[in-house]
Chain A
């Protein structure tokens, strides 16, 4: 069969719009996800039983319910309670919540790998919780959480493709759009697959460089989480 590359070229503006939307969504959701992760993690390790169990149930629910169901619930079910979010807002809320649960588990794993003596020393010195968490514990855990954290961030970039189902005009939606106009499925889906591949490879390269400065494990070794 012969390929119709012109179909991609002529519609490249749709593709580029989709690409920038995907990058925008990722640039917004990954930092929010990290913030939610820190919050949930602090709740998860606190001594307050209510906070701890809220965090545990949040993490378990998010990790055991597919993201698509979460997105559909926010998009189709919340309007019945008077909360009507646009597609993009829904996507940002859901992706951040989704990433937050995974980030929380990673931070918790990192904190557990910091020796207990560090906490005891800080308490013995009479340092405040907020102070020693920020200035003593956090710098030590950065190198542990960076490789798995990168994987979660990469997963969030990829999962943003699900937002095409609630009409957010990101890269996958752009492909459906072009395919609907020109009926060239092979070329369009190959094109977006290559674009996604390019984004993730660049992202992983950048992260690997940063990671080498921090001195953590290789990022590729923590691939089993996704």
Chain B
């Protein structure tokens, strides 16, 4: 079969909107992920054993079940279970955010282990209250050291967003499905979608590697 990209190019609009939407959803989900991850990190370091057990069960569950199933649970099962009717947009962002949160917590744990213990001792010696030690002293250092890894986590999030097409969110994958159903040209449309995903993820992951190299260069 001959490729006819010329036929597709004028209809590229929805695909580009889908790509923008993918990035938008990815950013929001990543925000939720960082918030959830930070909360999990704090819960892991409390003296309440219930919270600590909860975090390990949570990360085992997120790690042990497919992201697709988590998205389906959020979309189909949450509404009848707790009685709040959330739309596909909220459900999708929450599902991906909570999924990403478990991995972000793991990344942050790595960063936390690199914070020298003297920082804790100094903060305690200065008489800072517990929440100030965490939010003003420790966490800024943790985040500073894991920024490259968080950038990579963003590409991971972008790569899960195609699953949102199953819950009727019109992001890049769904937009391309609609376009090739309309034009009967799946080869061209899917190739273009793949190129767009590649461009998004590759540039972000190269940026992450650049940050990684730079942080290694300036490490004492």
- CB B100 to nearest CB in A, in angstroms, measures 10
The interface of chain A, by Cβ under 8 A from chain B, is 1, 60-61, 63-70, 72-73, 76-77, 80-81, 154, 158-162, 164-165, 172, 175, 179, 185-186, 189-190, 192-193, 196-197, 199-201, 204, 223-224, 226
Contact A72 B106 (CB under 8 A): no
Please give, as numbers and ranges, the residues of chain B lying within 8 Å of A154 by CB-CB distance.
63
Complex interface: chain A residues within 8 A of B52 (CB)? none
Ordered nearest first, which 6 A-B pairs have the shortest CB separation?
A200-B64, A161-B66, A185-B76, A64-B201, A158-B66, A68-B162
CA distance A73 to B106 in the complex (A): 33
CB distance from A184 to the nearest CB of B (A): 9
- Let me know if A200 and B65 touch, CB within 8 A: yes
Instruction: Please measure, in the bound complex, the distance between the C-alpha atom of A81 and the C-alpha atom of B190, giving whole angstroms.
Output: 14
**Chain B, range 45-72, C-beta contacts under 8 Å to A:** 60-61, 63-70, 72
| B34 within 8 Å of A (CB atoms) | no
CB nearest to A61 among chain B residues: B198
Q: Which residue of A lies closest to B22 (CB)?
A: A66
Instruction: Say whether B80 contacts A200, CB under 8 Å.
Output: no
Q: Do B106 and A223 touch across chains, with their CB atoms under 8 A apart?
A: yes
Contact A172 B106 (CB under 8 A): no
Task: Find A80's partner among B77, B166, B187 (CB 8 Å cutoff).
Answer: B187
User: 11 new A-B pairs (CB below 8 Å) besides A66-B162, A196-B69?
Assistant: A60-B202, A61-B198, A63-B201, A64-B201, A68-B173, A73-B194, A76-B190, A162-B163, A185-B76, A186-B77, A224-B110
Distance of A179 Cα from B75 Cα, bound (Å): 13
| Number of B positions contacting A (CB below 8 A) | 46
Do B72 and A175 touch across chains, with their CB atoms under 8 A apart?
A: yes
Chain A residues, CB < 8 A from B177: 72
Task: Flag if A64 contacts B205 (CB, 8 Å).
Answer: yes
Contact, CB under 8 Å: A158 / B65: yes
Output the nearest chain B residue to A201 by Cβ-Cβ distance. Answer: B64
**A84-B135 Cα distance, complex, nearest whole Å:** 57
19 A-B contacts (beta carbon < 8 Å): A1-B80, A65-B197, A65-B198, A66-B161, A69-B162, A69-B193, A70-B194, A77-B186, A162-B66, A175-B69, A189-B73, A193-B70, A196-B65, A196-B69, A199-B64, A200-B65, A224-B106, A226-B103, A226-B156
Query: CB-defined interface of B159-198 with A at 8 Å, one 1/0 digit per residue?
Result: 1111101100000010001001000001100110110011
**Nearest CB on B from A163, distance (A):** 10
A197 to B61, Cβ gap below 8 A?
Answer: yes
Measured CB to CB, the closest approach of chain A to B119, in angstroms, equals 23
Contact of A185 among B68, B77, B160, B187 (CB under 8 A): B77
User: How many Å from the CB of B139 to the closest CB on chain A?
Assistant: 19
Tell me if A73 and B191 are in contact (CB < 8 A).
yes
Q: Chain B residue with minimal CB distance to A160? A: B66
Which chain A residue shows the least CB distance to B64? A200
Whether A200 contacts B63 by the Cβ 8 Å rule is yes
| Distance, CA A174 to CA B198, complexed state (A) | 32
CB-CB under 8 A for A69 and B190, given A64-B201, A185-B76, A185-B80: yes
Give bound CA distance, A192 to B65, whole Å.
9
Task: Give every chain B residue within 8 A of A179 (Cβ-Cβ).
Answer: 76
Distance between B26 CB and nearest chain A CB, rounded to angstroms: 11
